[in-house]
Structure 1
């Protein structure tokens, strides 16, 4: 299963990408995380239902340094991913 998450709030400049990468690795997910120009963070994640449910729960809280206001979730077409990475501009 592959999903795209758009995370809004105080999520840039607070280590959100790094902590997201760390959580994804811990859960065994594949995908990527990147900052968007509008101040949100985009996450593409791939895993099983349990992994994705745990990850979505974590994204709704985020790290202590962030203040997540809302998370939008979209079904994503399956794509081949080999790891979880932080995309830098």
Structure 2
């Protein structure tokens, strides 16, 4: 089953969606990212591999590759997701 991540913190207007896309591509995960009106970012990952999702979460928290990101992710909530993978930033 796909996963839905909700990222909270300083995540709008700071390259968060592109930043997530870079790590998803690195890990070969397809998906999307969208800004949500409450100030969070929703990331949909088209994988059911829990280890891969955990690695993605770790990498976007720690930025080991030093990708450009001007914000700050304070919390990441992960949920199972059975809907269509769509959003305003596809990867």
Q: TM-score range with shorter-chain normalisation?
A: 0.7 to 0.9
**Preserved CA contact (<8 Å) 2:15 2:69:** no
| Segments of 4+ moved more than 4 angstroms | 61-64
| Structure in which a larger fraction of residues adopt strand | 1
- In 2: Cα distance, 1:21 partner to 1:50 partner: 18
For residue 46 of structure 1, what is the aligned residue in structure 2? 46
String of CA shifts for 1:53-77, please: whole Å, max 9, x gaps: 1112123346642211111111112
Which blocks of at least 5 consecutive residues in structure 2 are unaligned?
none
- In 2: Cα distance, 1:9 partner to 1:69 partner: 5
For residue 26 of structure 2, what is the aligned residue in structure 1? 26
TM-score (norm 2): 0.76
Which blocks of at least 5 consecutive residues in structure 1 are unaligned?
none
TM-score (norm 1): 0.78
- In 1: Cα distance, 2:83 partner to 2:40 partner: 23
Equivalences, count: 84
Bigger mean CA deviation after superposition, 45-54 or 10-19: 45-54
- In 2: Cα distance, 1:56 partner to 1:2 partner: 14
**Preserved CA contact (<8 Å) 2:34 2:43:** yes
